[in-house]
Amino acid sequence: MKPHWLVGLALLPVGYVARKFRNDPQFGASLAEMKKDDYQGTAAWKMGRFRNLDKTKLREDMRSLLGDLYGYLKAKNTQPTTPLPVAVAEKTSTPDPDQDYVTWYGHSALRLETAGRTVLIDPMLGEWVAPVPFLGHRFPYKDYHPLQGIGNIDLMLFSHDHYDHLDYDTLMAVKDRTAAYLVPLGIGAHLRSWGIDSEKITEIDWWETVNIAGLEITATPARHFSGRSPSTRNKTLWCGFFIRTAHHKIYFGGDSGYGRHFKQIGERLGPFDLTMLDSGQYHDHWKNVHMQPEEALTANQDLGGKQLLPIHWGGFSLSDHPWYDPVERIMAADTEQCVLTPLIGQRFAVGDGTDCRDRWWDRSGLTREE
């Protein structure tokens, strides 16, 4: 694993420049295309870029980056030693109109089935989370073919434009059977550059509410950043989503560090039957933009969440902690027994989740020490 990453990191600048020169579609819209939109007067747009509610410093100096790299190269157990078990069915049964169901595909990719409709949220179902195909490969899964079990898609949500959330390959695979897209401001430029019809795209600001695909959805603040290349840093907005179905109130947090926005969201839109919160791929240097597992529990309390599904883990190794550390830490800190731990691909009913507390990552061989 270590030599692979050393070679990959050495080749990253070369691969990036090569793809840039040939205008690889993975990068999405150019800065010139993004500048066609004017966001003056919107909630988070200030001085030519989107900003967080709280001051959010990123440690991106060369010393910090080299230290992060050294820490990753020394880290152990960042990848599963054997393929992870999955529960992805070959075919998905017709959604029950009297119930809401959620399926977690690993990392932050989710499917919501409600009132006979199918909604995909940050559907990163591809193999790589980088613009060059030798970094950030998906964990090995047993017989993982999620797209085979998803039919027509009524709505697709994207929380922000990072590669591990907005995946070009997944989008291309399902765009002909996707009826509508709901995204925060600016991401429409990416979708249009990839051939998505503008009439299918709705862009919204923080606290803006729309009714779409039979759902009431509000974009909410998150504490993060955006950009698919250095030139487009923070030129698109990032957000979470409040989703009101006929039966439940659901919250998807996207990527976010902990901040005062969670209490604001809870006061304005909560409480929630289910929250889905960033709980993995954390690092002390990134604490402003990714929560530690214990902070996700605090955020769930701020939101008034009854049950919490940890996301942003179980798919890719993007930090130096053991791959199973996020779920171990959040389970250890969960005094309210609110945390759900479904298998990757497991479909469960919102408000139930009684079969989603299995410590499946503890099974023989999965967490073997290197």
Task: Give the domains, in start order, of the chain with CATH numbers.
Answer: 2-362 (3.60.15.10)
Q: Give the pLDDT band (50/70/90) at residue 135.
A: low
pLDDT-wise least confident of 63-77, 322-336, 354-368: 63-77
Whether residue 164 has pLDDT greater than 60: yes
Whether residue 6 has pLDDT greater than 50: no
pLDDT at 12: 52
For Cα atoms 156, 124, 32, give the angle at the middle one, nearest 5 degrees: 75
pLDDT at 368: 62
Q: State how far the Cα of 212 lies from the Cα of 248, in Å rounded to an integer.
A: 16
Q: State how far the Cα of 20 lies from the Cα of 163, in Å rounded to an integer.
A: 15
More confident call, 288 vs 95: 288
Whether residue 93 has pLDDT greater than 70: no
Is the separation of the CB atoms in 300 and 254 below 8 Å? no
Q: State how far the Cα of 193 lies from the Cα of 25, in Å rounded to an integer.
A: 8
Whether residue 9 has pLDDT greater than 60: no
pLDDT at 14: 47
* Averaged confidence pLDDT in the chain: 88
pLDDT at 60: 57
Nearest one of 33, 51, 165, 143 to 88, comparing CA atoms = 143
Q: What are residue 242's DSSP bridge partners?
A: 218, 251
Q: Give the pLDDT band (50/70/90) at residue 143.
A: confident
pLDDT average, residue stretch 40-56: 92
Nearest one of 159, 168, 173 to 194, comparing CA atoms = 168
Tokens standing for 195?
A: 């051939």
Q: State how far the Cα of 287 lies from the Cα of 159, in Å rounded to an integer.
A: 19
313 backbone dihedrals φ, ψ, rounded to 5°: -150, 170
Please name the amino acid found at residue 16: Y
